[in-house]
Structure formats: C-alpha cells, structure tokens
Chains A and B, each alone.
Chain A
C-alpha cells in the first residue's frame, strides 16, 4: 500500500500498486546511481562525491521535514500554502527567543514552537481560509501569499534583519567513512525521519488520521458518515503548521535566523511536495532526500551555478512529465 493520504485504492489492488511503486523506486534509484556515477567521473575524486552525497542526504532530510507539513495541507485541503516558509521563520524566531531568554536546549524549544504553530495554523485556517472567501484556488494563493508577506515583513519590522544564531550545546563533528558531518545536521536528519514515521503512523492508525484520509479522498462522503469536515480541515492545517514548528526547532542550530529564511525553503519545499506526490508524507521525505542530492550534485556538474538551478530543472521536468509526483498515480 502507498502512504498517500488520498489513496483510494481498494485493498484488492494493493499488490499491483506496491509493484508499481517498487518499480518506480527502482527507476529513481537507478537514476540516482547514474547521477552519482557521472558526478564521480566529472570530479574525479571519490571523497568529494561521497561528502556531497552525505551532505545532500542529510540536508535533504531537513527539506523533507519542512515539506511534510506542506504536503499534508496540500493533499487534504488542496491549499498551496505560500505562507509555510514564513511560518517556519516565525517558529525559528520563537525558538531563538526561547533559547535566548531561558537558555533551554534548542531541541527542547519544540515544546513551545509546536503548540504555538499549531495554534497559528488553526487560527489562520479559521480566520482566513475557511468559508466562501477562501474557496477558490486563486483566493487561497493570494491569501497565503499575503500572509507570508505579512509575517516576513512583520519579523523584519519588529525584530530587524540582522541574522541571529543559535549554537547547539556540545556540537560535535562526526566522521562518516571520510565525510565530515556536524552533529546538529545528523540529529535534524534523524528527527525528520522520526517525525515522518510519527505522522505516517498517525495517519494510518488513529481515528483522527483515518478521518483526515477520508476527507482527503472524498469530503462529501466523509461528511455523510458524520465526519466534521471543517474541523478536520482546521486540524490538518494546524498539524501542518505544527510540523513547521517542529522543523524549526530541529533546524535552528543549522541556520542563521533571518526574516526571509522561509523564502528559500518555501521554494525547495514546493519542489519536494510535487516530487513526492501531494499529500504523501513518506513521499515528501524521499523527495526531500532526492532534492538534497540534486542540490549537491548540481554544484559538482555546473561549476559556479547556484545549487538551486538543478532543483528547478528537476521541478519543471517533474511538473511537466509527472505532475502527480514520483509515487502518485495519475488521477
């Protein structure tokens, strides 16, 4: 079975779906192998490529983490939340503030950022997006765009543009078969995987998760069997925002905190969401890893070009050729 939220395949078709997914995973794996081989030839240095692969995968975990909340919202509510990056920035500032004031361990600030962002998400959905005014796609795009401008520039206006940094207490550097990895990057990666598993479990094995999947696949039907669709929408949006909160606490030691940091992650997160198939939480994680790799390999292939360029090329190709994502099925 796929982990797609809006997977409506009857159980009997599950085996063939699994085969298809495995086949596609094989193709993707082969492409990745070829890409790495080409990079090896291009650079001629095994250790450089290995370092890129490790860095790429670990950074990719972070992308996947950020994209998970976005894909959940995208898949269930069909809302492209342009404010996701800005919400991440808000959560980062919150995390930074908590560390600065209380001296708490950065990862423990999750206890503040997750509930705070959950609340923000719920308020945004109830206040701005639900109801007739938020009905059409254009309106949702415009409202979340406005919200993102509002949050980013609010941070800029009140907290200033100077970058702020949080250091992880006891930061170490590990040696992974010759590649150097900072501890914070590894922990963020592990946190991303753990969060992905928690979300997956929540969607598959809890009442709330079942209701979310039901609403995603057929909301009038869900309404008929007594699910409060509007409530599920609000909860999903809030959970999606809370994911950004969790991601912020995990990533805060890795990044300089600036009001516009969300912008760069917004872009990559959208790419990851489309790549992984919208609404597919596990797909988001896999997509994140792939995009992390693409970024690193781009810098090897195209010397002097921005690593984002490769990301956009992949994005456009996926949009045109497989808009349902690598692991989704054509609807």
Chain B
C-alpha cells in the first residue's frame, strides 16, 4: 500500500560516481539510527514536565508500531489491542508484586503471554473466517472480556489493580529510578527503537512480504502457495508481543496499573488513532502519530489550566485533547487516508519521479 509507493522507486536511478542507493531497509535503519541518536540528549535539554511527555510519546509509539504491524501491514483491523497492552502490563506487574520477579523478565513473559493469546484469538478468527467489521468486533470483545475478568478476579487484585513496590535509589535490574530520571526516557527510547527496527525487519522479511500480499489479495496469495494461516498468526503474535512491551513499561513508569488503564477501550483507541494519524501501513507513520497524539493532551492541559479569554468557560474541563484527535482522525481519514507521513512520502516520491 503506502510504503510500497515509497519504496518502489526504480533502482535504475542515474548511476553516477556516488555509491549505489541503499536498499530500502538499510536506508530505513539509517534513518532510525539518526532519529534515536538525535533523541538521546532530549531528557537533558527538556524541562522535567516535557520529559514526561517525551516518555509518553515513546509508549504511544510502541503501541502504535504494534498495532500497525497487525492492522497496517496485515490488514487485520484490530479494535482490541488493549488486550495485549494489558496482558503485558498485568503479567509483569503480577510477577513483580506477587513473586518479586524482575520487570525485565516480566516484560518478556508478558510478550510471550500476549503473543500466545493473540495467536489463539487469531486462530479462531481466521479459522471461522471473521472478516472486516466482524473481526474488529471480535478483537474488541476479547479485550473487554479480559477487562471484566481482571476487574472481578481477586487473584490479580480485582478493580484495585497493582501498585509497583517502591525501592530505594535506582536500579536498572528493577527498572526503577527516581521520578524524572532521564533513565526512563533512555530505556523507553531503546524499546521504541527496537520496536521500529523489528517492524522494519518484519516489513522486508519473507513473512512480511507474504502478509502484505495476503492483505492485498488473500485468494491470489493463497493460490500461489503462500501459507496464509501461518503468516497471519506470526503477524498477530509479533504485533501482540510488541504491544505488550508498551504495557509492561507503562506499569514501571507510572508505578500503577488497574483493569481500566490496562484493558480499557481507550487504550485500543489510542493505538489506532496514533497509527492512523501518522500513516497506516507505513514504517514511520506510528512515529509521526505518536509525537502528535502523545503531546496533544499536554498541550490541551496547559491550555485549559490557564485558558485564553474566549475559552475561559472551559477552565478545568477535560475532553479537549480527545476532541482534537477525533477531529484530526476524521479529517485525515476523509482527506488524506494515507496519514500525515504516508501522504507526505507520496508527494516526495511523486516529485522525484518527475
């Protein structure tokens, strides 16, 4: 879809004395490396409040990358990514609080659990051929079931949720630092960079190419021998695992998780909106979307705390950030369905071709 348009630049560009053009994935890795390097000094430059926004942007970024793999590349429109986010959050919180297991191990365990659950949900959905709206509704139903079950299960503290036990000082092994420490940002940066790198790798792997082909025409892909079920399951598992990382890190950063924060439908919606605003089915769309959506609530919070004259009646109200991204979502779907990054990339590619 979108990124094929970007990458299908003919390889027969005028071959000057310059080095041959990089393969698309190498170019994308290079861009990623530059972005990560540029982001490293951010927490030292930004004031503490903005540092928190930066971390939130990275959490959104990981979620959106996860969603994009399944729904953007794979075309399987998920409305229930809260399930995987929540499983990541709850697995690591449960292991940490009840058994004292390091959050890193918990994060890995959460990835495994989320991937397994994604494969089970995926298997049944594909087996019974749920498509389009039905698939979206089914994923939504599973996320809601997990929310209801955790809310009423005493084994995971029910509606109260988990509070991460505080430790003295900072510890990389326990993934805990004093509030406002730049270490949180750097760890999130590594995780987010890893997620984007995985999504680049996946997009250009055999499995990724198969999945995009299956998305574009399942019947045709199956008829030339693409193992449809296997590749779809691989895709949902990867997507679930990446989203679980965001959940596990979220718990460690905010030191608290409850069923609504973990499995609430707003989590699924945030993942969707972020990826769609940036550009669905592109590598960089989730990155662009995360920067916009992640910083929006901070901007509106500041605006509503000290509103200008004509907005004074809104002082102390909430909801403005969601309104803004809802409007953005509708406008983008109507006017530039490839998202901000997808549309810009297409424009650039067009200009180059001329």
A-side contacts of B173, CB under 8 Å: none
A139-B337, A154-B319 given; name 6 further pairs at CB < 8 Å: A137-B77, A142-B276, A150-B323, A156-B318, A160-B317, A315-B137
A319 to B138, CA, bound (A): 7
Among B314, B317, B325, B333: residue with most chain A CB under 10 A: B333
Is the Cβ of B137 less than 8 Å from the Cβ of A149?
no
Is the Cβ of A80 less than 8 Å from the Cβ of B133?
yes
A261 to B31, CA, bound (A): 45
Is the Cβ of A157 less than 8 Å from the Cβ of B318?
yes
Which residue in chain B gives the minimum CB-CB distance to A306?
B148
Interface size class of A (residues with CB under 8 A): 35 or more
CB distance from B82 to the nearest CB of A (A): 13
The answer to whether B335 has its CB under 8 Å from any CB of chain A is: yes
Which residue in chain A gives the minimum CB-CB distance to B142?
A316
The answer to whether A320 has its CB under 8 Å from any CB of chain B is: yes
A-side contacts of B276, CB under 8 Å: 142
A-side contacts of B318, CB under 8 Å: 156-157, 161
Is the Cβ of A143 less than 8 Å from the Cβ of B148?
no
Could you tell me which A residues sit within 8 Å of B by CB distance?
A: 80, 128, 133-134, 137-139, 141-143, 145-147, 149-150, 152-154, 156-158, 160-161, 259, 263, 267, 270, 274, 304-306, 308-309, 312-313, 315-316, 319-321, 323
The answer to whether B187 has its CB under 8 Å from any CB of chain A is: no
A218 to B276, CA, bound (A): 32
Is the Cβ of B141 less than 8 Å from the Cβ of A142?
no
CB distance from A255 to the nearest CB of B (A): 20
A-side contacts of B290, CB under 8 Å: none
Which residue in chain B gives the minimum CB-CB distance to A157?
B319
Q: Which label, helix, strand, loop or mixed, suits the secondary structure of the B interface?
A: helix
The answer to whether B234 has its CB under 8 Å from any CB of chain A is: no
Which residue of B138, B149, B334 is within 8 Å of A316 (Cβ)?
A: B138
Interface string of B325-340 (1 = CB under 8 A from A): 1110110011101000
B-side contacts of A263, CB under 8 Å: 265
Query: In the complex where A139-B337, A142-B276, A143-B334 touch, is A323 in contact with B145 (Cβ < 8 A)?
Result: no
The answer to whether B254 has its CB under 8 Å from any CB of chain A is: no
Which residue in chain A gives the minimum CB-CB distance to B135?
A319
A259 to B322, CA, bound (A): 13
Is the Cβ of A149 less than 8 Å from the Cβ of B148?
no
CB distance from A276 to the nearest CB of B (A): 14
CB distance from B76 to the nearest CB of A (A): 11
Query: In the complex where A319-B141, A320-B128 touch, is A306 in contact with B151 (Cβ < 8 A)?
Result: yes
B-side contacts of A138, CB under 8 Å: 77, 280
